[in-house]
Amino acid sequence: MELERQVEELRSLLGEAAVLTGAEDLSRYTRPYRGVPGPTPAVVRPADVDQVRAVVGWARRHRVRLLPQGANSGLAGASTPPPAGAHPAPVVVSLERLDREPMVDPVDRTAEVAAGTRLSRLNTAALPHGLVLPIDLGADPSLGGMVATNTGGARMLRHGDMRRHVLGVRAVTADADCTVVDERTTLRKHNVGPSLTQWFIGTSGAFGIVTDVVVDLGRLPAARACAWMIPRDAVAALETILLLERSYGRWLEAFEVLSAEALEAAVREVGDRGPFGSRPSPWLSALVEFSGGEESEEVLVGALDDLTSRSLISDAVVVPPVRAWAYRHAVTDGLQRSGTVLGFDVSVPRSHLPPFRDRVREAVASVAPQAIVADFGHWGDGGIHCNVVLPAGVTVEAPIRVALDEAVIGTACAEFGGSFSAEHGVGPRNAGWWTSTTGIGTRSLVAGLKQVFDPLGVLGHPGLPYRWEPGSS
Ligand code: LAC
Ligand code: ZN
């Protein structure tokens, strides 16, 4: 009854159309990419910054937790409600109506974008100016989600992550005034002390709800050229990156490595014979992209000859960029269709990738001998998705799940100086690793800041780790 009255109040604040309660199908707001949907009493869809503020004020009055959500394409689990019973069900705040034509400034090479606007819409608006936000991934996320997760993607080697591109955001915090922090700027030189914008990047909405973002755009290259190649072994794959950086650095745009298991799943998903045609799937393959002037392909072919003559690769095939990337971007969906997948997003210093890969395979085999490690990822920057695939329909019991997390994330962090989250951000999926790998002093300062931005604890997924819980140490 109480809840019904509260939802009515939301409706009167925002209008009927802004509040969905389940007479409609809410699954697109509650279903994570992997796992089961969690319950929500309502999905609220504010249409501007004042409405976001009104929602935050409402949540404070009623002590209701808000779960900000962009395009719901994240993989750390922070944008969908937790399973029933784990926590009180949060209200989903979908930012999808904060969507308008991006304001592209071709002279400043920037764009101001609403949080709910998709990356594809931004890039369509930037295209006529020869500009692009060069963060490339299989999904089509919203800009607010990209800020909240600090998206990395497959071109990070060259262009950096979202943090590198954000010039400033506007965000609503949950302090007593529901402050609108407005740091939108197109300035690149803006060295004026503390930047609150940084508190909203990669923090999954726990410190505020991002409503707008100004990004630095990159210039679209005149041409791109891609090749799939077969490195002699994992060490040769690493040496290939070094040679390409040393001798072809200004051309190198991306370098991705796939295990046979990952490539096979991608090829099945695309539905053709794959980049290497009828030849058997190599146990390790790499996708390289060069970009720059019209001569990109010629330079790439020269680089492939160079790599072949040094015996770093045993085969290479130049593939048109759209087709070349289609395989790479199909890996996650392809694996998802091939069994029960536990996804991982870890990184290690790239120098450690070859032994790390071997160690993970050993460690996973000792926990679940029937599991396949289908690793793939961004070797140029040390990011690797060591996804574990079990037969379809298998239920992974909690202790096995913990042991597999230990086998992949624990190995990355404890043995190889790596990270529990490379580019997908922090969510309930990996929050415990934040706590166990972050020093108590830092955690205490973060908890203090959480108290400043959100003293009542109404913002963000309840599984996020930033609040100081009684008894934590
Ligand atoms: C990728 C996503 C899973 O690299 O980050 O395909
Ligand atoms: Zn990735």
Q: Which ligand is nearest to the CA of 156?
A: 2
Q: Which ligand is nearest to the CA of 332?
A: 1
Work out which ligand 1 atom sits closest to the CA atom of 378: 4
Query: Once rounded to an integer, what is the mean pLDDT over residues 335-348?
Result: 97
Question: What is the whole-number distance in angstroms between the Cα of residue 258 and the centre of ligand 1?
Answer: 11
For ligand 1, atom 5, name the residue with the nearest CA.
Answer: 153
Tokens of 298: 């010629």
Tokens of 383: 């990011």
| d(C-alpha 341, C-alpha 34), whole Å | 8
11-40 pLDDT per residue, tens: 999 999 899 998 778 999 999 999 889 999
Supply the pLDDT for residue 120.
Answer: 98
Per DSSP, the three-state class of 310 is: coil
> Is the pLDDT confidence value at 280 over 90?
no
Question: What is the whole-number distance in angstroms between the Cα of residue 59 and the centre of ligand 2?
Answer: 34
CB 62 within 8 A of CB 79: no
Supply the pLDDT for residue 360.
Answer: 98
Question: What is the whole-number distance in angstroms between the Cα of residue 164 and the centre of ligand 2?
Answer: 17
> Is the pLDDT confidence value at 3 over 90?
no
Pocket of ligand 1, candidates 137, 263, 329, 429: which has the most ligand atoms within 8 Å of its Cβ, to mutate? 137
Pocket of ligand 1, candidates 135, 263, 385: which has the most ligand atoms within 8 Å of its Cβ, to mutate? 385
Element (H, E) at 231: strand 223-231
- Concatenate the DSSP letters of all residues of 322-350 into one string: HHHHHHHHTHHHHHHTTSEEE---EE--G
Query: Once rounded to an integer, what is the mean pLDDT over residues 387-408?
Result: 96
For ligand 1, atom 4, name the residue with the nearest CA.
Answer: 377
Supply the pLDDT for residue 18.
Answer: 96
> Is the pLDDT confidence value at 469 over 80?
no
Question: What is the whole-number distance in angstroms between the Cα of residue 136 and the centre of ligand 2?
Answer: 9
Question: What is the whole-number distance in angstroms between the Cα of residue 122 and the centre of ligand 1?
Answer: 20
| d(C-alpha 394, C-alpha 392), whole Å | 6
- What is the average pLDDT score of the chain? 96
35-57 pLDDT per residue, tens: 889 999 999 999 999 999 999 99
454: exposed, middle or buried (C-beta count within 10 Å: 0-12, 13-18, 19+)?
A: buried
Q: How confident is the model at residue 406 (pLDDT cuts 50, 70, 90)?
A: very high
Q: How confident is the model at residue 471 (pLDDT cuts 50, 70, 90)?
A: low
Worst-scoring range by mean pLDDT, 81-90, 150-159, 178-187, 290-299?
81-90
The C-alpha angle with vertex 76 and arms to 73 and 79, in degrees rounded to 5, equals 55
HSE-up of 402 (CA within 13 Å, CB side)?
A: 4
CB 376 within 8 A of CB 154: no
Query: Once rounded to an integer, what is the mean pLDDT over residues 242-253?
Result: 98
Sort residue 53 into left (φ over 0), alpha (ψ -120 to 50) or beta: alpha
Biggest CA pair distance of the chain: 75
Q: Which residues pair with 209 in a beta bridge?
A: 172
107-134 pLDDT per residue, tens: 999 999 999 999 999 999 999 999 999 9
Pocket of ligand 1 (CB under 6 A): 137-138, 331-332, 377, 385
Work out which ligand 1 atom sits closest to the CA atom of 75: 3
> Is the pLDDT confidence value at 65 over 60?
yes
Worst-scoring range by mean pLDDT, 14-28, 90-104, 245-259?
14-28
Percent of the chain predicted with pLDDT > 90: 94
CB 227 within 8 A of CB 308: no
Helix locations, 340-405, DSSP H: 353-367, 398-405
> Is the pLDDT confidence value at 177 over 70?
yes
CB 58 within 8 A of CB 17: no
> Is the pLDDT confidence value at 470 over 70?
no
Supply the pLDDT for residue 440.
Answer: 96
Pairing of strands 66-69, 91-94: parallel
Question: What is the whole-number distance in angstroms between the Cα of residue 153 and the centre of ligand 1?
Answer: 7
Supply the pLDDT for residue 468.
Answer: 78
Question: What is the whole-number distance in angstroms between the Cα of residue 463 and the centre of ligand 2?
Answer: 22
The C-alpha angle with vertex 452 and arms to 142 and 421, in degrees rounded to 5, equals 45
Q: How confident is the model at residue 473 (pLDDT cuts 50, 70, 90)?
A: low
- Concatenate the DSSP letters of all residues of 14-82 into one string: H-GGGEE-SSS--HHHH--SSS-----S-EE---SHHHHHHHHHHHHHHT--EEEESSS--SSSTTSPP
In sequence order, which residues have a C-beta less than 8 Å from that of residue 212 and are 6 or more positions away? 49, 98, 112, 113, 114, 115, 169, 170, 184
Pocket of ligand 1, candidates 332, 421, 423: which has the most ligand atoms within 8 Å of its Cβ, to mutate? 332
Work out which ligand 1 atom sits closest to the CA atom of 377: 4
CB 161 within 8 A of CB 151: yes
Element (H, E) at 112: strand 110-114
CA gyration radius for the chain?
23
Supply the pLDDT for residue 110.
Answer: 98
| d(C-alpha 141, C-alpha 88), whole Å | 27
